[in-house]
């Protein structure tokens, strides 16, 4: 079991090391896009399924509350997977593939950013959310895995973790989410601490 743990940790570290060695500048660009939206009165909408849904909720919570030790105002971030009544209504009446796109239609405005999270890059409901966001002139950032799938071409910026291992992709996505929170806070609230 100890050897297995070491192998898992080693694999996780290697995927992260490789991703950030190749794409650190893309993460900086994503943070700048989100900070720009917040600084001009825009919102961050987030969506994903399963583990990606919980990642979306985690990042939204960090922005609405606070990340780290900075005392700052709440930032308007909304995970589109949290309202059971809305999700089940849309899913029942028009299909699960529309659960995020209808909310982007309802809440998204030009100047907002959609952070679309999908380890496969092919989730139909995330694809539709991206299509709706583009039609409404939101910026779209994809937090994706594998080769970026059908979602990558719909993004203004695709952050693609090139791995076929869902767990390693999700672990890297989690770290990207934390880095985005820290960079955005540092950009918007550089001097504010506990």
**Where residue 100 falls among pLDDT bands split at 50, 70, 90?**
very high
| Mean pLDDT along residues 169-194 | 91
Count the helices and strands in the chain (H runs, E runs): 6, 5
Separation between Cα atoms, residue 59 and residue 11, nearest integer Å: 24
The verdict on domain 2-188 having CATH code 3.40.50.10490 is yes
Separation between Cα atoms, residue 107 and residue 182, nearest integer Å: 25
148-164 per-position pLDDT tens digit: 999 999 999 999 999 99
pLDDT number for residue 43: 98
Domains of the chain by residue range: 2-188
CB 173 within 8 A of CB 161: yes
């Amino acid at each position: 079991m100890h050897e297995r743990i070491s192998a898992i940790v080693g694999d996780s570290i290697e995927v992260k090391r490789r991703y950030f060695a190749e794409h650190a500048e893309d993460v900086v660009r994503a943070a700048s896009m989100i900070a720009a939206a917040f600084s001009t009165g825009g919102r961050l909408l987030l969506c994903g399924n399963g583990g990606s849904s919980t990642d979306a909720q985690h990042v939204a919570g960090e922005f609405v509350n606070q990340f780290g030790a900075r005392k700052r105002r709440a930032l308007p971030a909304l995970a589109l997977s949290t309202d059971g009544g809305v999700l089940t209504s849309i899913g029942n009446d028009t299909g699960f593939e529309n659960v995020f796109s209808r909310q982007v239609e309802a809440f998204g405005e030009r100047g907002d950013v959609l952070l679309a999270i999908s380890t496969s890059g092919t989730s139909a409901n995330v694809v539709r959310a991206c299509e709706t966001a583009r039609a409404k002139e939101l910026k779209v950032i994809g937090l994706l895995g594998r080769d970026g799938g059908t979602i990558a071409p719909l993004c203004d910026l695709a952050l693609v973790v090139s791995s076929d291992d869902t767990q390693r992709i999700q672990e890297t996505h989690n770290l990207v989410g934390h880095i985005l929170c820290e960079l955005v806070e540092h950009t918007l609230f550089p001097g504010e601490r506990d």
